[in-house]
């Protein structure tokens, strides 16, 4: 599937959404218009996560949605997902690329402008930069970088930058104004009563930029 980075990049969290599987969250995000979804899960036993991901990839493929798996290249390959999202402490992108081949999407998190600069020649499709704003979602999150550093990161990068960390509807416009190509959202979507409707509202906010 060709990779087009949509303006809103939702990330699942079963605990925040109070769900027993990622599939139910994915279905709502897609109903709300999501074209890319990252499945992020640090707790579920691997076998259970694998089964959930098999259902997710089948659904995503049928809907033309790129499904990205956080951390795990083995799950990307075994489930047929579209790609992997890596942190600075995960497998190096060059290694992930050699495992996954040319066609999968590889994304990388960066937390400083220096890391963004150092990532320009890596075999990746995008950089997630943040946390831009303070967030409680990631326990070990680095301190918030703020809009000024987001702007510098976007200037320094030929790769598209996805702003992440504390992004709510009211922040969408300012991260785009700072040069971000997309905004990643966890809690503002996962805590919503109606995830599909909230996803749709985020896309509307992105269109208004």
User: Which of 12, 137, 157, 182 lies at the binding interface for ligand TZP (CB under 6 A)?
Assistant: 137
What is the per-residue binding string for ligand TZP in 159-188, x denoting contact by CB under 6 A? -----xxxx-----------------xxx-
User: Which of 33, 80, 87, 168 lies at the binding interface for Mg ion (CB under 5 A)?
Assistant: 87
Rg (CA), the chain: 16
* Pair 46, 36: CB distance under 8 Å: no
- Spell out where 94-195 has E strands: 105-110, 126-129, 161-163, 182-185
Residue 130's binding partner out of ligand TZP, Mg ion, none, with CB under 5 to 8 Å set by partner kind: ligand TZP
85 has which bridge partners? 70, 107
The single residue listed with the structure tokens 């259902």 is 55
CA distances from residue 6 to 34, 52, 96, 147 in whole angstroms, order as listed: 8, 24, 23, 21
User: Which of 55, 90, 99, 156 lies at the binding interface for Mg ion (CB under 5 A)?
Assistant: 90
Nearer to Mg ion, 90 or 174 (CB): 90
What is the per-residue binding string for ligand TZP in 57-96, x denoting contact by CB under 6 A? ----------------------------------------
Find the part of the chain contacting ligand TZP (CB under 6 A) among 41-49, 75-83, 128-136, 154-162: 128-136
Instruction: Copy the structure tokens of residue 197.
Output: 């409707």
Nearer to ligand TZP, 12 or 57 (CB): 12
* Pair 202, 37: CB distance under 8 Å: no
Instruction: Copy the structure tokens of residue 195.
Output: 């995830």
Q: Is 71 in the site for Mg ion (CB under 5 A)?
A: yes
Per DSSP, the residues of 106-120 read EEEEE-SHHHHHHTT
Least separation in angstroms between residue 101's CB and ligand TZP is 25
The residues binding ligand TZP (CB under 6 A) are 109, 130-131, 135, 137-138, 141, 164-167, 185-187
């Amino acid at each position: 599937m060709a990779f087009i980075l949509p303006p809103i990049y939702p990330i699942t969290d079963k605990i925040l959404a109070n769900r027993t599987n990622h599939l139910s969250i994915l279905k709502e995000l897609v109903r709300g218009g999501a074209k890319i979804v990252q499945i992020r899960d640090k707790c579920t036993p691997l076998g259970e996560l694998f089964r959930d991901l098999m259902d997710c990839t089948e659904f995503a493929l049928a809907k033309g949605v790129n499904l990205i798996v956080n951390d795990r290249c083995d799950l990307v390959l075994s489930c047929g997902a579209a790609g992997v999202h890596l942190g600075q402490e995960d497998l190096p992108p060059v290694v992930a690329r050699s495992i996954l081949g040319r066609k999968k999407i590889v994304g990388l998190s960066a937390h400083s402008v220096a890391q963004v600069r150092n990532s320009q020649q890596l075999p990746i499709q995008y950089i997630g930069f943040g946390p831009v704003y303070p967030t409680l979602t990631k326990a070990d999150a680095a301190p918030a970088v703020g809009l000024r550093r987001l702007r510098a990161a976007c200037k320094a990068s030929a790769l598209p930058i996805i702003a992440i960390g504390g992004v709510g509807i009211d922040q969408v416009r300012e991260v785009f104004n700072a040069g971000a190509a997309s905004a990643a959202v966890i809690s503002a979507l996962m805590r919503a009563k109606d995830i599909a409707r909230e996803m749709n509202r985020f896309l509307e906010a992105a269109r208004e930029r």
